[in-house]
Amino acid sequence: EADIYQTPRYLVIGTGKKITLECSQTMGHDKMYWYQQDPGMELHLIHYSYGVNSTEKGDLSSESTVSRIRTEHFPLTLESARPSHTSQYLCASSVSTGAQETQYFGPGTRLLVL
Amino acid sequence: ILNVEQSPQSLHVQEGDSTNFTCSFPSSNFYALHWYRWETAKSPEALFVMTLNGDEKKKGRISATLNTKEGYSYLYIKGSQPEDSATYLCAFGSGAAGNKLTFGGGTRVLVKP
């Protein structure tokens, strides 16, 4: 059973607001990821981290930023939300085990920017 | 961005029937192929990680096969039950990207009683 949490689950917010989506895992995993999924589309990797103080941008360009100050915590921030940021955001984590490495997902945050 | 395709996008299955669907991925730089099940309002749940050409994995009534040379994987559900209703995602890991995954669009399965 994976222990990875995301808050809030749903967020409706106005344009221009700063928002932070929280992601925490209690499994001690070194790697963490953020994916974005627009309705009817694929999951796209927007950020990942291989450990504390390590963050990289993913394959899909995003205006969001992330930080990894603690192993268990990987928050995502949007400084000024826009309607184009409306999407579902999923956080995942994994531990380095070579080719069999499995990513464990949180339940996601559905963001609606008005 | 790598191209990972799943077909069909959705399918309806009568309870008790068996079904299968496909994931196509690049045949070069293969590292691993993952299958996930994603039920509504829940987290995606890992089903299988497959790494070797010819691999076959099974979990209960669900099984998967892998052909890395031609770049496809099949997922089979035998004797579908309503609880099998979910979106099934495949994700391709390439040697170049290591553990970074490229997801397909998913196959949405609805099992009708």
What digits encode the pLDDT tens for the residues B67-95?
Answer: 999 999 999 999 999 999 999 999 998 87
Provide the 3-class DSSP secondary structure of residue B51. coil
pLDDT value of residue B2: 78
Closest among B108, B100, B104, B79 to B90, alpha carbons compared = B104
Peptide bond just before A8 cis, omega within 30 deg: yes
pLDDT tens-digit readout, B32-71: 999 999 999 899 999 999 999 999 999 999 999 999 999 9
pLDDT value of residue A1: 56
Q: A52 versus B28: which is more confidently predicted?
A: A52
pLDDT value of residue B28: 85
Quick one: DSSP state of residue B9?
S
Alpha-carbon distance A64 to nearest alpha carbon in chain B (angstroms): 19
Alpha-carbon distance B29 to nearest alpha carbon in chain A (angstroms): 13
Provide the 3-class DSSP secondary structure of residue A20. strand
Quick one: DSSP state of residue B44?
-
Distances (CA, A) of B56 to A47, B11, B77, B103, B109: 32, 23, 13, 20, 21
Quick one: tokens of A1?
Answer: 């059973």
Is A23 at the interface with chain B, CB within 8 A?
Answer: no
pLDDT at B27 over 90: no
State the average pLDDT over residues A4-23: 97
Query: Taking CA atoms, what residue in A is nearest to B43?
Result: A107
Average pLDDT of the residues of chain A: 93
